[in-house]
Amino acid sequence: MTEFPPGLIIILGAIPVAVLRGPLRAIWMLALPVVAFAMVWMLPDGNHFGIIAFGQELELLRIDPLSRIFAYIFLIAAFLGIVYALHVRAAAEHVSGLVYSGAAVGAVFAGDLISLFVFWELTAIASVFLILASRTHDALAAGMRYLIIQVGSGVLLLAGLIVRWHETGSVAFGDIGLDGPGGVLIFFAFGIKAAFPLLHNWLADSYPKATVTGAVLLSAFTTKLAIYTLARGYAGTEELIWIGAIMAIFPMFYAVIENDLRKVLAYSLNNQLGFMVVAVGVGTDLALNGAAAHAVTHIVYKALLFMSVGAILHRMGTTLASNLGGLYRTMPLTALFGIVGALSIAAAPLFSGFVSKSLILAAVLEGEHKEAFFALMFASAGVLIYCGIRVPYFAFYGPDSGARPKEAPMNMLVAMGLAAALCLAIGVWPAALFSVLPFPLDYKVFNVYAVSHVVTQLQLLFFSALAFVLLHRFGRYPLPKSGINLDTDWFYRRLGSAALRSLMVLGTAIQTRFYDAVNRRGQRILIQLYRHHGPHGVLARTWPTGSMVLWVALLLFAYLFLYFFDIF
Amino acid sequence: MLAAHLPALQVVIPLMAAPLCAIFRRGYLGWLIAVAANWFAFAAAILLVFRVLEEGTISYAMGGWVPPIGIEYRVDIINVFVLLVVTGVGSVIIPFARAGTAARFNNTDQAWFYTMYLLALTGLLGVTITGDAFNIFVFLEISSLASYVMIAMGRDRRALTAAYQYLIMGTIGATFIVLGVGMLWAMTGTLNLADLAERIPEVSDTRPVLVALAFLTVGISLKLALFPLHLWLPNAYAYAPAVASAFLAGTATKVAIYLFVRIFYTVFGGSGFFSTTPLPEMFLVLSVVAMFAASVVAVFQDDVKRMFAYSSVAQIGFITLGISFVTEAGLTAAMVHLFNHAIMKAGIFLMLGAIMFRLASVQIDDLAGIGRKMPITMAGIVILGLGLLGVPGTSGFISKWWLVLAALENGHWWLVALIVLASLVTMLYVGRVVEVAYFREPSAKVAVMREAPASMLIPAYVLVLATIYFGLETNWSVGLAEQAAAKLMSAVY
């Protein structure tokens, strides 16, 4: 009995949710991740659930340290997400949220590429309803774009696995590597979900349009699942270091000028993924530990941030920074939790982000990837400015908007409280986290709270904070909606930031122009398509019988012609 | 011994049942007869499958006249597979028919409807099982004439013009087929397919045979609605009664596809001959065009039945694409999709029939918010739609999987991309229905609606479950298809 894929338990458990109501539903939903967690806890490492399908032996429950830690954190995130969403009445959102969580857990335990693919697509399909459930026109459009991209990723995965199966005769999901077309295809499939640079657009496009509660779940699963699969299949792939370094830096520039706080969070999500991707690229035991640990802490604090901003959206109906400000007066707890999340993402000592980021940075240094190290340092400094300070500042402090919303609902506060407690607990007592990391880590040798670590990080944070204060004081920090005005010299001294900035501006300009062109071209194509394929187009109208017969005659002649001249 | 006459009974029972319905002129009785006859035919097909798997090809001499003089019924792994699809789909559809026909027609018309249904079934089974070229034509006409009547019984007056056009086009198709058969007869002196297969190689590059080939190609392409000869199909499916749409979409084009592979692969001497003709290239191009053009048209359709009719044209493109590869994997893909698509499309048309029954419309704007009022029906459409898309866990995935494998085996990388892209277009039209049904406020008309009756939901859900079942357990569908494909490639009749 206990040897049953926990992901499937959650997916199947979602069915009764459609009919249950009231407290019974709440208890049932909360029990699902708890039961699944207990099962994973009790099962030893190994393959526990094989089935035969598609003529292949599929492993649905491969437990090893790497899958175990991701399953734990996914189940914790699912639990938090459920608590946070308890006030939502619509069953559809709960069902899709549960199926989505279950699919993510199922994917983590998939021991072969076929079952991975099945769960991979399921995450895409189930999660799109969390976006669509916003029921706005924007959300619908973004949801459809999201679905196409996500399903596209699944299709790439399918193509890759078929090619790989042809090449190697096995569909086992182990180390894949970039040699061979199959490996490359799968790499891009994972890359889309991990929001690699240039494949990242869906993330900032769709997450901010999801429902309040949906965004919390979305922020936890899809991208971290991709990190898991990358760690499994492409650990130590050199290219990932560069990809990750770029990922860690470039979203910040978009984030800093963004007005919608949820979009800021989406960009910062992308930036934090960069850290994990770099770590996977380094590929040593320490680095993979770092990637896994960062995935854990990141899921918690990012969920916490989305929760606190979501609470604002719930009460205020908007997350545009320019419409917010001064909310700490009436939402003190939300503000407090938001700040805990912000400090965690900024990796302040005693908060969770500090622990996991230290692992990654140490691994990068150890591997002597200097450029990547500086990129990550730069990103660490930046994250405080554009997210760590900015989000709480504009939301809860800043110029008073005059709004006096009520404090967030109880269930939201509980969820946020739990997440904040986790952030602090991991930060203060990292040994527990270290004990479940995929590779053994000697906590005595690797002391995250060594004086040098703490001092470096504090310096970084203080200077960044100082930069924010000065920029803000002299009116150079981009106020919401004030355009690109950031003087990056203050930002961080070591990089030629000015050049980078102008590059970014140029890049943005080119990108806008490119998208405009694509848009215009796209519209023209659509009009053409409609002209021919629309209800009155030549391909769709009801033809006169005579014309049909003409076609028949034409084809007959064509075939006669072909048969006569091709064969003789 | 009754079992020895199974091949004959397969066709004769529905044929005898048809006039019975007409004689009694009672709707309920007609329905009972139709169900009984159809279920018997299904049972016979299942028994035949087992017998063929055990004993190999069965040759049955009609009336004791030994072939090639008499008419031979010849059951091998290829056509028994098609028999199974036709009778199976029919057996599920016909129980569904009761509520809808009883509500719309008087007793006499109901009886006529079941008569026509049984005749159509007889015809399709006859085309599939017979080993005689002229017999094919006769049964083709029986099934076609019966389907014209069924289509014309649709509730919309446009059904009449649709039936008329189908009649003209179908007759042309049948005429072309009989012309082709006639020329083959003139050259070889036989109508028995096995005999033809022996004698054609000697004369295969004479002009009359080539002309016969051209007539047969166009005639059968018309029947199987290969782009651009599909023009009769959308209206015929859109305006026919739901049962007729489901039955025709599930079986008629499938039998035409069978006829095509039967004639081009086994009668004309297997893959060797097929690949010397320009047909593979022609089919490849037309299939790909069908996959895209018809899907895009479907996206823009406002009549949901017509939308899925166009989707049929596109899905037939997937099947003919598999045939055009001229490999065992390609034919397997084609046969598997023939099987899976029959189930999925019949299911979708039944679901639409249930909506039509309650709402009297399947215009997309009228369906706003229907997901809330007919949740079970819409859930079925979503699952079947996912099947069309090829989502794993549904049988559509198995089809696409084999098709992609076959394309890869031929080294057609770009085709894999096209197959995937075409599936994405499928997502657009399925998504459009889902969006309207679930994410719009119900209109006043929809707001007072109830779920469809159980007598409709149960048969439709059998097909939904089959779609899921054959997405997970492929021993039957793929197993039989593989054997059929191997037999087709070997060119032994």
- Residue A37 in contact with residue A2, Cβ under 8 Å? no
**What is d(CA A19, CA A242) in angstroms, rounded to the nearest whole number?**
49
**What is d(CA A448, CA A360) in angstroms, rounded to the nearest whole number?**
11
Going by C-beta distance under 8 Å and a sequence separation of 6 or more, which residues neighbour residue A557?
Answer: none
The dihedral formed by the CA atoms of A315, A318, A323 and A326, expressed in degrees to the nearest 10:
30
In this structure, the strands spanning A50-53 and A46-47 are: unpaired
pLDDT in tens, B148-198: 999 998 888 888 888 998 999 999 999 999 999 999 999 888 888 888 888
Nearest CA in chain A to B168: A545
Helix (H, G, I), strand (E, B) or coil at A559: helix
What is the 8-class DSSP label of residue A320?
B
Interface touch B213/A549, C-beta < 8 Å = no
- Residue A441 in contact with residue A293, Cβ under 8 Å? no
* Chain A nearest C-alpha distance from B406 (Å): 11
| pLDDT for residue A81 is more than 50 | yes
Interface touch B431/A158, C-beta < 8 Å = no
- Residue B164 in contact with residue A542, Cβ under 8 Å? no
Interface touch B205/A568, C-beta < 8 Å = yes
Helix axes B133-152 and B158-188, enclosed angle (nearest 10): 180
So what's the pLDDT on residue B319?
94
Q: Give the ipTM of the model, two decimals please.
A: 0.79
Number of C-beta neighbours around residue A460 at 10 A: 18
Q: Where are the domains of chain B?
A: 270-493
Residues of B in contact with A565 (CB under 8 A): none
Going by C-beta distance under 8 Å and a sequence separation of 6 or more, which residues neighbour residue B162?
Answer: B151, B154, B232, B235, B236, B238, B239, B240
In this structure, the strands spanning A56-59 and B72-75 are: unpaired
- Pick from A107, A105, A78, A109: nearest CA to A94: A78
Q: How far is CA B125 from the centre of its chain?
A: 12
So what's the pLDDT on residue A336?
92
**What is d(CA B50, CA B55) in angstroms, rounded to the nearest whole number?**
8
**What is d(CA A556, CA A292) in angstroms, rounded to the nearest whole number?**
65
Q: For A298-311, what is the mean pLDDT?
A: 94
| pLDDT for residue B493 is more than 80 | no
So what's the pLDDT on residue A401?
79
| pLDDT for residue B478 is more than 50 | yes
Going by C-beta distance under 8 Å and a sequence separation of 6 or more, which residues neighbour residue A356?
Answer: A290, A293, A294, A296, A297, A298, A433
Phi, psi at B469, each rounded to 5°: -60, -50
Helix (H, G, I), strand (E, B) or coil at B303: strand
Nearest to B416 among A148, A159, A552 (CB): A159
Nearest to B168 among A545, A555, A559 (CB): A545
B213 touches chain A (CB under 8 A): yes
Going by C-beta distance under 8 Å and a sequence separation of 6 or more, which residues neighbour residue A446?
Answer: A286, A359, A362
B375 touches chain A (CB under 8 A): no
For A519-550, b/e burial (b = at least 16 CB within 10 A) is eeeeeeeeeebeeebbeebebbebbebeebbe
**What is d(CA A210, CA A220) in angstroms, rounded to the nearest whole number?**
13
Nearest CA in chain A to B479: A55
Q: Which of the four pLDDT bands, split at 50, 70 and 90, describes residue A100?
A: very high
The dihedral formed by the CA atoms of B238, B243, B246 and B251, expressed in degrees to the nearest 10:
-120
So what's the pLDDT on residue A492?
36
* Chain A nearest C-alpha distance from B113 (Å): 26
Q: Where are the domains of chain A?
A: 235-495, 514-567
| CB burial of residue A165 (10 Å; 0-12, 13-18, 19+) | middle
- Residue B115 in contact with residue B22, Cβ under 8 Å? yes
**What is d(CA B292, CA A533) in angstroms, rounded to the nearest whole number?**
10
So what's the pLDDT on residue A445?
61
What is the 8-class DSSP label of residue B248?
I
A-proximal residues of B, 281-320, CB under 8 Å: 282, 293-294, 296-297, 299-302, 310
Interface touch B205/A562, C-beta < 8 Å = no
Q: Which of the four pLDDT bands, split at 50, 70 and 90, describes residue A503?
A: low
**What is d(CA A314, CA A308) in angstroms, rounded to the nearest whole number?**
10
What would the two tokens of residue B334 be? 């084609």
What is the 8-class DSSP label of residue A385?
I
- Residue A330 in contact with residue A404, Cβ under 8 Å? yes
Element (H, E) at B202: helix B193-203
So what's the pLDDT on residue A275?
94
Q: How high is the mean pLDDT of chain B?
A: 88
pLDDT in tens, B71-81: 888 898 888 99
Q: Compute the residue count for chain B.
A: 493
So what's the pLDDT on residue A491?
39
pLDDT in tens, A371-425: 888 889 888 888 887 788 888 888 888 778 787 888 889 999 999 999 999 999 9
The pTM is what? Answer: 0.68
- Residue B381 in contact with residue B389, Cβ under 8 Å? no
pLDDT in tens, A159-207: 888 888 877 888 889 888 888 888 888 999 999 999 988 888 888 888 9
